[in-house]
């Protein structure tokens, strides 16, 4: 995923800055509460960041620690399936849900 500018909590930043932790990142670019609900089962392994951007690349992106996209909100694969496939079972259910 290429670096791009975004705003988090009213502060300008860049994707590269958010990725510095080396943890998986779920980047919510539309403020969808359903994404936060789904991601809660992986909160111990995946950071959720709600941000805004000028040029929306997608509604949401799941970014692996190596910077590659594991999932893009495009309606083809549910977020829960991608989280389960890449980052293991949900702590809420004890299993990857789809």
38 closest CA partner among 70, 80, 78, 75: 80
Q: What is the mean pLDDT of the chain?
A: 91
Per-residue confidence (pLDDT) for residue 98, from 0 to 100: 47
Sign of dihedral through CA atoms 55, 1, 24, 15?
A: negative
Supply 18's token pair.
């958010």
The residue ranking higher by pLDDT, 93 or 42, is 42
Per-residue confidence (pLDDT) for residue 97, from 0 to 100: 47
Per-residue confidence (pLDDT) for residue 93, from 0 to 100: 66
* % of the chain beyond a pLDDT of 70: 93
* % of the chain beyond a pLDDT of 90: 84
Distance from C-alpha of 24 to C-alpha of 54, rounded to nearest angstrom: 23
Per-residue confidence (pLDDT) for residue 94, from 0 to 100: 55
Per-residue confidence (pLDDT) for residue 92, from 0 to 100: 76
DSSP state of 83: H
């Amino acid at each position: 995923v290429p670096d791009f500018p975004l705003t988090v909590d009213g502060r300008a930043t860049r994707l590269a800055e958010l990725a510095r932790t080396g943890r998986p990142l779920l980047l919510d670019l539309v403020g969808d509460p359903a994404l936060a609900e789904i991601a809660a089962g992986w909160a111990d392994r995946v950071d959720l960041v709600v941000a805004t951007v000028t040029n929306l690349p997608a509604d949401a992106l799941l970014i692996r620690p190596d910077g590659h996209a594991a999932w893009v909100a495009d309606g083809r694969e549910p977020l829960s399936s991608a989280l389960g496939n890449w980052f293991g079972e949900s702590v809420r259910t004890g299993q990857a849900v789809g």
